[in-house]
A and B are shown apart, each in its own frame.
Chain A
């Protein structure tokens, strides 16, 4: 969509113009995502035999309840949610890196992860103390709801702190984010102290992330939020490109910088908040995916943002397939998988940028 908006679907090849390259990568990533979606529906702890069931179902033959539940109540929502979460993490990372003009920035910088984490921890530890009426209302979704609310509240708080006379300073936001991180860490510490043995286990598993809890309900609640946030990103592309020259120059290029910052921060808080709420702490997708793409198609956000969404979705589906098959029938938390891939990669990024960071 962003590409059509650019008005140059298949531009002529020209030195310094990487659009054709980007289009090729876009098509490649779209195909990859399609493959991953099909694979994710057919691969699982119960084996790949379900492919036949899927064909059978598609051709109108009746299939067993167990197969039906695995395909439509487990794998389908999990695949869709995984794709959306992966897309939102990767795009949020790319937007943050553009906004902070730093290839190592991630959504955590606007406090959404810390806030969401604290929300989840508080829900896990204090959930039992909720008034019964409230508990009935939120039911088993207390943790996701609290995580989303926590992410939003901390983002709004940081944004307020960093905004003076209508201008938001990303530098102040970054520093305030560190302070907020310390504070939420302390409160989380209190919660951990109060937690009983089982709650501690729950906290650990939540922090490692998982798509195992994917249900249609979660998809219907988090999905629209993520889709809405992703839909705003094509409008950010031009501004983020201009922002690479600095805020002042972006303004001189006619970019409404402050409005763009507002939209970018709200987008990231929405997308990341929803993603973290339904999947827990999944790291590194937001750094690995955009950085990898910048190496191949360049930093232009017009292509970077949509392709990040595709590759992020494909990457997370791949990681999820590893997470649910490698120790089957048990399951490895997906955060471990992404961190195992992402950790060394992050280090590699740091090493590559060492010279730049020292400047």
Chain B
């Protein structure tokens, strides 16, 4: 019944789809996690281009880059001649999508989400768009099982603060309803910052009040040693328990925040970083 409904919806959404399955299909993937899912599904041979945020696995960087997912240019997209576009929620702008629809190119938007269920939904949606729902169901089940298998129960969960950037001494941290908030929860931590949604600059006092036990940041190019020193010497950070134990975790941004097939790995990595191998 469910399958019937899905295939019906597919037929409605992508009228050209049933034909293109057999024709040589050219898939454009927009969004880092979407591209990862295409690879995880083993459908990477159909990919002909990607957006700027798609950087994993490394081979994907050999594909043409049609620009940042929220600022796509219609001709840039058409120039790679895709027959199917799979895009993360929030891709755009609207004008571009409108033109692409005018060109009869199926544009599938994959809903975003930051919890265990969202990962499975995403995988299944991408697989559906690619016409490989069985592979999707299998991968979704695998990833979900990995997430379920994670033993993240701890006696005393750590208070974790995710810092997006420290530009100019200003701490930009994650509140609730973000990928960072989601992965902290999956790893068995507690987000230390809950007063707002999204990523916002925190006042020094709010940093002190949040009192994180651990700070999580994305890896970046450059000298982490000196960057770490700079972080610990920040007046507000230096008052936190994290500074006393020098507890800083750096993880690749796409791995940590992508909410794709590598999310179990990200959660496990973060969990062990938070609580040690025990």
Contact = CB atoms under 8 A, between A and B. Distances in A.
A115 B201 CA distance: 26
A14 interface: no
A4 to B, nearest CB: 38
Interface string A4-18: 000000000000000
Given A73-B102, A205-B68, A330-B52, A196 B198 contact: yes
Interface string B96-128: 101100111000000000000000000000000
A226 B58 CA distance: 47
B99 A69 contact: yes
A178 interface: no
B79 A75 contact: no
Interface in A299-327: 324, 327
A14 to B, nearest CB: 49
A45 interface: yes
Given A197-B198, A212-B71, A330 B95 contact: no
Interface string B66-80: 111011111111111
B142 interface: no
A324 B75 contact: yes
B94 interface: yes
A47 B78 CA distance: 11
A48 to B, nearest CB: 11
Given A201-B68, A202-B70, A205-B68, A328 B199 contact: no
B64 interface: yes
Contacts, number: 101
Give the interface size bracket for B toward A. Answer: 35 or more
B169 interface: no
B177 to A, nearest CB: 9
B98 A45 contact: no
B200 interface: yes
Nearest to A198: B90
B103 A212 contact: no
A205 to B, nearest CB: 5
Contacts of B70: 198, 201-202, 205
A328 B76 contact: yes
A46 interface: yes
B65 interface: yes
A164 interface: no
Given A73-B102, A74-B74, A75-B75, A193 B200 contact: yes
A256 interface: no
B73 A212 contact: yes
A210 interface: yes
18 contacts: A45-B76, A69-B102, A70-B103, A73-B103, A75-B75, A140-B98, A196-B197, A196-B199, A201-B68, A201-B70, A202-B70, A215-B98, A324-B73, A324-B76, A327-B67, A329-B77, A330-B73, A331-B73
Interface of B: 49, 52, 64-68, 70-81, 90, 93-96, 98-99, 102-104, 164, 197-201
Interface of A: 44-47, 65-66, 69-70, 73-75, 140, 193, 196-198, 201-202, 205, 210, 212-215, 218, 324, 327-331, 333
